[in-house]
Amino acid sequence: MIERSDAEKLPRSCHIPVLVAEVLEWLCVRPGQRIVDGTVGGGGHASRILDQLGRDGRLLGLDRDPAMLEMAATVLDHPGCSLHHASYSQLANVLSGEAGRPPCEVDAILLDLGLSSDQLSDEGRGFGFEHDGPLDLRFDSSCGRAAWEWLATVEERELEQCLREWGDEPESRRIASELVRRRKATPVRTGRGLAEAVSEAVGGRRGRRHPATRVFQALRIAVNDELVHLERALSDSLPASLVPGGRLVIISFHSLEDRIVKRAFGKQDTWTKLTQKSVRPTPREERVNPRSRSARLRAAIRA
């Protein structure tokens, strides 16, 4: 569990939470409830949830990234709030606490998937196209392999498949071949290095997006096993942790995640859909916070 003791000395989040009014509406938070923010990040959504929970409510915040939990601790000053370094796919274990006790159930769960602006702007993590720090791309750098290490040994065919399936990258073959070719003389080690290698392989910018956008997404999904955590959580940990009638709200940022959520919510023995179509940000929110443009919210009730 994360302590708040040094919270005042730590930097605050620059992340603007997306779809805040919609999250509060679909979570339907009432005073005294027990709520989980499974991707607490810098605590943007969580602090708004705490405002509605009152002094008797409980909020558990989880994140795979210890740096984000430290940031969340700076803003979540509430006696009923606890922060845990864990994946939301391990929620049932976190809730069961001490061994031997049955897991307690919660009234609602929020997942706001993907990456926070704080992670994106951290030079040392490699998420940015112009960063000269190591191309790490892990949420939790204490386990698994950094993206640059993976790129150094992965087979060209596996890399091509990763870019195609998880980045929906039409030039996957050409890019994989370029990244493997570079290994001998100039292996990719940084965010900037990856962005340059991709630009060279596909010949510059395509539309409004940076040509490496899909490649960064694919590698991030690969090194964090992101879709495995989501699928496992939806079939196991999340339904096991909610009271019958409890609510699950999920914001996804690309079609792979949204498809998994939509398919899971279609299982009527486990979920009753609250949203038939995904909920999108208003044009105003998209203008004020362009990062919200790809956000899609879905909500369901535990059957």
Ligand X SMILES: C[S@@+](CC[C@H](N)C(=O)[O-])C[C@H]1O[C@@H](n2cnc3c(N)ncnc32)[C@H](O)[C@@H]1O
Residue that has been written with the tokens 């443009």 in this structure: 293
- Rule CB under 6 A: say whether 87 interacts with ligand X: yes
Single out the residue of 19, 41, 125, 169 in contact with ligand X (rule: CB under 6 A). Answer: 41
Question: From the CB of 63, what's the least distance to ligand X, in Å?
Answer: 4
Question: From the CB of 230, what's the least distance to ligand X, in Å?
Answer: 7
* Stretch binding ligand X (CB under 6 A), from 57-65, 174-182, 202-210, 295-303: 57-65
- Rule CB under 6 A: say whether 39 interacts with ligand X: yes
Nearer to ligand X, 115 or 256 (CB): 115
Name the pairing type of β-strands 242-252 and 106-112.
Answer: parallel
Nearer to ligand X, 115 or 219 (CB): 115
**Residues 299, 278: Cα–Cα separation, whole Å:** 8
Using alpha carbons only, what angle is made at residue 228 by residues 231 and 148, rounded to the nearest 5 degrees? 155
* Sites for ligand X among residues 218-277 (CB under 6 A): 229
What order of strands is seen across the sheet that includes strand 81-85?
81-85, 58-63, 34-37, 106-112, 242-252, 296-302, 271-273
- Rule CB under 6 A: say whether 42 interacts with ligand X: yes
H runs (alpha helix) in 101-169: 117-120, 147-153, 156-167
- Rule CB under 6 A: say whether 139 interacts with ligand X: yes
Question: From the CB of 234, what's the least distance to ligand X, in Å?
Answer: 12
Nearest of 211, 291, 286 to residue 254 by alpha carbon: 291
Question: From the CB of 38, what's the least distance to ligand X, in Å?
Answer: 6
**53 CB-contact burial (10 Å; exposed 0-12 / middle 13-18 / buried 19+):** buried
H runs (alpha helix) in 121-254: 147-153, 156-167, 172-181, 191-202, 213-224, 226-232, 238-241
Single out the residue of 22, 63, 70, 258 in contact with ligand X (rule: CB under 6 A). Answer: 63
Question: From the CB of 216, what's the least distance to ligand X, in Å?
Answer: 15
CB-based contact 69:83 (threshold 8 Å): yes
Residues binding ligand X: number (CB under 6 A): 24
Question: From the CB of 224, what's the least distance to ligand X, in Å?
Answer: 6
First and final C-alpha spacing in the chain? 31
- Rule CB under 6 A: say whether 45 interacts with ligand X: yes
* Stretch binding ligand X (CB under 6 A), from 56-64, 156-164, 258-266, 274-282: 56-64
The alpha-carbon radius of gyration of the chain (Å, integer) is 20
* Sites for ligand X among residues 93-122 (CB under 6 A): 112, 114-116
Beta strands in the chain (DSSP E): 34-37, 58-63, 81-85, 106-112, 242-252, 271-273, 296-302
Nearer to ligand X, 44 or 134 (CB): 44
Nearer to ligand X, 73 or 176 (CB): 73
- Rule CB under 6 A: say whether 61 interacts with ligand X: no
**Residues 148, 150: Cα–Cα separation, whole Å:** 5
Catalog residues that contact ligand X under the rule CB under 6 A. Answer: 13, 15, 17, 38-39, 41-45, 62-65, 68, 87-89, 112, 114-116, 139, 229
